[in-house]
Structure 1
Amino acid sequence: MDFVHTLIQSSPFIALFITLSLGYLVGKITIGRFVLGGVAGTLLMGVLIGQFGVHIDPGVKSIFFALFIYAVGFQGGPQFFSALNFRTINILMSAVVMTVSGLLCVLAAAWFFDLDRGTAAGLAAGGLTQSAIIGTAGDAISKLAGVTEEAKHIMQTNVAVGYAVTYIFGSLGPILMVTWIIPTMMKWDIRGEAIKLAEKMSGGKPELNPGEFNAISQLESRAFQVTNSCSVYGKTIAQVNEKLVDVAIEVIERDGKEIELEKFTAINEGDVIVVTGRRKA
């Protein structure tokens, strides 16, 4: 054990790669239908291996934090802005409510249990299953004024500890609440309500047996030829689809040939557009 302790302290990169390999191995462990995942598994192993007192150079921390922020922004940025339209306003409002309520719960828990800033940030990251909070919180803690380096190190360590402890509950908790605890408390029959909803959406038709599907759905397509007096003339596909509800442009035919649809494809005079949507839309 002393040899391992000395080796890890003298070679931090060995600890890094051991954490990654063991973390992904632990993340593949399946308990029923629940899988911990590589991120949570790596953090758990990082907390354990970190007890050996591994010291990481601040420059390495800054580089990896910058890469982390870039990766999060590169993945989430386009998805966020592409979702900003009238059809997703309810989803966006739900996300805002969930974020604010989660923050208030974390602040209340930190005040009630007298948690330090690092533990509170880890609680938010794990409870809300938002790994991005870890890097942001660690960077913010390192810039705190009037706090000793030792206190900063303890708080940064507590961020990972709080995340690792609460991540499993943050992932599994909502599933148990929605599928078991709340229906049991409210005496709801989830399966029965799902069947009723399916019958309502299928126009009162009986429930399908396993493996069966409706060959004819409640969708319909119609073709329109664009003139210079049409409201869609000169607009792009993205602009038109943004104002449509349960309807979308599927095909555009120009000069007798189908053209490739892109967000910024403009609709010209003489184009034949095929619109698909629900019959009641």
Structure 2
Amino acid sequence: MFDWLKLLLLPGEIPTVTQSIVAIMLAIGTGVFFGRLKMGKITFGVSAVMFTGLILGHFGYRIQPGILDFIRDFGLILFVYGIGLQVGPSFFSSFKNEGLKFNILAVSTVLLGGVITVGLFYFTGLKIEDLVGIMSGSVTNTPGLGAAKNTIEEITNSFPDKKFNDPTIGYAITYPLGVFGIIATIIISKLLLKIDPDEEMKKFRMSKINRELPLVHKKVRVTNPDYFGKTLHQILKGFGRDIVISRLKHSGTVAVKSPMLDTELQDRDVLMLVGLEKDLDDFMALVGRPSSDLFIESDKLMLKKNIYVTNAKIIHKKLSELDLYNTFDLKVTRVFRAGREILPRPSLELFYGDKLRVIGSEEAIQEVETLIGNSEKKLLEPDFLSLFGGLLLGVILGSIPIVIPSLPVPIKLGFAAGPLIVALLISRYGGISFIHSYINTGATHFMKDFGICLFFAAVGIHAGDGFYDNFIQYNGWLWLLYGCAITFIPLILMVIIGRFIMKINFLQLVGIMSGSYTDPAALSFSTNYLDSDIPIQTYAQVYPLVTIFRIFVASLLILFFS
């Protein structure tokens, strides 16, 4: 009576489309469930989907090859694109601060893994394609495996008589080692170094405050006679640093206005300033002293409001082009973008989804709302045209063959690096034509988690298929030993050098570890284990360069040593 249900839910040797979908749903559903269970203070989160997939694959669950490839690649594309949009605004600016240091450490780890692989090639006598598979699995790098397989295919097309082993076998055997190895290293290093995540978070915030100083507002009373009768334009030009004077109140009155650049200062005027704290303190020391006047903060005549940029005609225009003050008698005091607070310089270009904090009369604010858009409902609605346009550009970039002189086959960035680089560029520059960078936070988190669940389910079920038989046939314990060298030697050196020599915050170091091994499972675990999103930031800072280097190293090893 229930044969149809058994056929649907139980594994089959040649799965139908429906059975393939059921296998994916089972892997994701059970993985998410077990990922929420706590073992002490440890939860695996969505990374548990990878391991439930392995178990299901071992017990006979299968996915049709075409569906498997689509689910795996599409999931990876969604995941890396979401990460790129999330951290793009800070990715390029990070190279002015710690990003260069992080990438040097991460890329050095990649190169060290390649050197160890070459050493194993000469020491063990294994074929290079087997070792590249072991290396790709040990560092959980699917794009590297794909690049190796593509290189082998290109060489085989050019030299039909040359035979290669399948690097996927070594990848499948060592992939679980790579995932558990990074997670184990994170746990053990946290225990040995006696890391307190809360303390590390405090240190990170302090370093960020010192590195990326927040904007503040202060009140100053003008008491220096040298500035009486001078215009704000003269004073600000002479000061030479970016600050905003958002309000002005003359002494003895309660009227507050937004001053123009030709406004002349009078004795005991009170000004409301916005800018970096040190700049404001220096300016206050020049013109007068701190004020405790409360009338200047009154919103009776001057209203303060946040306005969102949603009008397509305003996107990529500069504040100086809009000229809001002279046109509407309204002043922009701050701009909020992707969690960052930006001083509204005239040259600042507006992006879709920017939040402007403005001060002015109620009538002026209403007029500017009509101009700029301010449709929060529009921001909540997913813009699929923009999203899939960006994904398409990422796939195109990842598919471009890169021809390197003296190499017989071209190299491609693949579906991991291509969409990530496009997302970083779109997020950095606000978009390309109709493709913009803004996606609300909830949608970004959903896209990342949904994508990585699809990827883990597909990879896990595929790797679990024949895992035991391949393990026995190819002396899996020995291959795991070789994989341990590739996994743990670079990781241990990274922790030692990163923590004790480069003095990197542990929360950031964990992100570099996960990013260096392009391991979303370790990233997902670390954010749950350490209860912090900081690893995501450093993961994304090193992921693009690391992915590119992983692809090149895997391809070059096949080309040079096959």
Normalised by the size of structure 1, how large is the TM-score?
Answer: 0.57
Going from structure 1 to structure 2, the CA distance change for 1:47 and 1:157 (only over 3 Å counts) comes to farther
The residue aligned with 1:121 is 136
Going from structure 1 to structure 2, the CA distance change for 1:85 and 1:109 (only over 3 Å counts) comes to closer
Of the three residues 26, 31, 36, the one matched with 2:34 is 26
Any residues of structure 2 matched to 1:106-117 within 5 Å, and which? 106-114=113-121, 116-117=131-132
Q: In the alignment, does 2:84 pair up with 1:77? A: yes
Does the CA-based 8 Å contact 1:36-1:168 persist in structure 2? no
1:17 & 1:149 partners in 2: Cα distance?
38
Question: Which has the higher relative contact order, 1 or 2, with Cα contacts under 8 A spaced 6 or more apart?
Answer: 2
**C-alpha displacement of 1:100:** 0.8
Of the three residues 173, 191, 204, the one matched with 1:180 is 191
**C-alpha displacement of 1:67:** 1.5
Residue type of the alignment partner of 1:24: V
1:245 & 1:111 partners in 2: Cα distance?
52
The residue aligned with 2:248 is none
The residue aligned with 2:111 is 104
1:247 & 1:35 partners in 2: Cα distance?
43
Normalised by the size of structure 2, how large is the TM-score?
Answer: 0.32
Going from structure 1 to structure 2, the CA distance change for 1:84 and 1:37 (only over 3 Å counts) comes to closer
Of the three residues 299, 319, 327, the one matched with 1:266 is 319
2:277 & 2:163 partners in 1: Cα distance?
56
Name the SS of the counterpart of 1:31 in structure 2: coil
Name the SS of the counterpart of 1:222 in structure 2: strand
Structure 2 runs not aligned, ≥5 long: 1-5, 122-129, 157-161, 207-213, 221-230, 244-274, 280-298, 310-315, 336-340, 342-562
2:28 & 2:163 partners in 1: Cα distance?
27
The residue aligned with 1:162 is 174
**C-alpha displacement of 1:44:** 1.8
* Identity across matched positions, percent: 13
Residue type of the alignment partner of 2:306: E
Any residues of structure 2 matched to 1:132-143 within 5 Å, and which? 133-134=141-142, 136-143=143-150
Name the SS of the counterpart of 2:52 in structure 1: helix
Which structure has the larger Rg? 2
1:149 & 1:246 partners in 2: Cα distance?
67
Going from structure 1 to structure 2, the CA distance change for 1:52 and 1:117 (only over 3 Å counts) comes to farther
**C-alpha displacement of 1:83:** 0.5
Count of equivalent residues: 220
1:15 & 1:149 partners in 2: Cα distance?
34
The residue aligned with 1:9 is 13
Q: What is the root-mean-square deviation in Å for CA atoms of aligned residues?
A: 4.7
> C-alpha offsets along residues 19-40 of structure 1, whole Å, 9 cap, x if unaligned?
333333332332211112222x
Going from structure 1 to structure 2, the CA distance change for 1:85 and 1:98 (only over 3 Å counts) comes to same
2:163 & 2:35 partners in 1: Cα distance?
32
**C-alpha displacement of 1:261:** 5.7
> C-alpha offsets along residues 235-281 of structure 1, whole Å, 9 cap, x if unaligned?
xxxxxxxxx87889xxxx9x9332426687726556263799xxxxx
2:40 & 2:120 partners in 1: Cα distance?
33
Does the CA-based 8 Å contact 2:138-2:178 persist in structure 1? yes
1:25 & 1:150 partners in 2: Cα distance?
40
Structure 1 runs not aligned, ≥5 long: 126-132, 184-189, 202-217, 234-243, 277-281
2:307 & 2:104 partners in 1: Cα distance?
35
Going from structure 1 to structure 2, the CA distance change for 1:246 and 1:117 (only over 3 Å counts) comes to farther
Going from structure 1 to structure 2, the CA distance change for 1:37 and 1:112 (only over 3 Å counts) comes to farther
